[in-house]
Structure 1
Amino acid sequence: MHVEFIQAKYKTGLYIGELLEKRESEQKGLMKVLAVVKHPTQGDLHQPKQSDVAYFHQRKALAEFEKTWVPLATVTLYKGEVPSYKDSLKTAWQEKYDQLATKQTPFAQLSIQHLKELKTEYGI
């Protein structure tokens, strides 16, 4: 059996996985996560890049083999080599950290704090 890999967005993260099921009527697809391309953005999704919010959310990357419904509009075929979950998580985390480290805003500093906690939790 030939498995086709996809790349899809889930909230503010981007992932590589397998499309297990489609619900055309709902415009959703069930994806099994295999790798992380872009680590989710920290904070309140409804007030992006704001630190002065009621609750500043710590946003974890989806776990390896976690299944989640993604919008079909964000699904594209993935043709490359699928990296290991752990390596991809480490790379995505580092890219997000490096982007924030160049900024001196309260949002960036709070995000970095959350990312450091996640790094320990992830064991990377």
Structure 2
Amino acid sequence: MSLERAVYKTGKYVCERLETDESNRRALIKVRAVLKHPTQGDLHNPKQVDVPLFHERKALAEFEKTWVPLSTLRPFEEECPSYLDSLEHAWNTQFEQLEEDGSDWAKKSQQNLIELRNEYRFS
């Protein structure tokens, strides 16, 4: 089985391609690991807090299937980490980056991530 890296919305994942739809230039993938946790907030108003809905975005679940644009797929040639380890690493990386940012948007994003951490159930 060959693995690929895919971008879905604002997250990045290690995945297995299950199907290719050339006519719509997309691929059906199955998630194996998380490389970058999705960004929190309103994507149409980046880094803004005063928006109608400040979205909480979860990472795709292990083995979740979704369609992604073919243009986002790249080979992944490293060893695939476990899903839970990769999720925790991606969560920690994003949380630390937000800590350095320190803006109101970053603080609100960290609140969302803390809620998600409870759902993800890692220490």
Unaligned runs of at least 5 residues, structure 2: none
Query: Does 2:123 correspond to 1:96?
Result: no
Q: Hey, which bits of structure 1, 4+ residues long, moved more than 3 A?
A: none
Query: Does 2:58 correspond to 1:60?
Result: yes
Deviation at 1:69, TM superposition (A): 0.5
- Inter-partner Cα distance in structure 2 for 1:72 and 1:10: 11
Task: Report the TM-score, using the length of structure 2 for normalisation.
Answer: 0.97
Describe the SS at the equivalent of 1:102: helix
Corresponding residue of 1:112 = 110
Q: When the two structures are aligned, how many residues end up with a matched partner?
A: 122
**Amino acid paired to 2:115:** E
- Inter-partner Cα distance in structure 2 for 1:104 and 1:118: 19
RMSD, aligned CA: 0.6
**Amino acid paired to 2:41:** G
Unaligned runs of at least 5 residues, structure 1: none
The share of aligned pairs that are identical, in percent, is: 54
Corresponding residue of 1:51 = 49
Task: Report the TM-score, using the length of structure 1 for normalisation.
Answer: 0.96
- From 62, 75, 80, the counterpart of 1:77: 75
**Amino acid paired to 2:62:** E
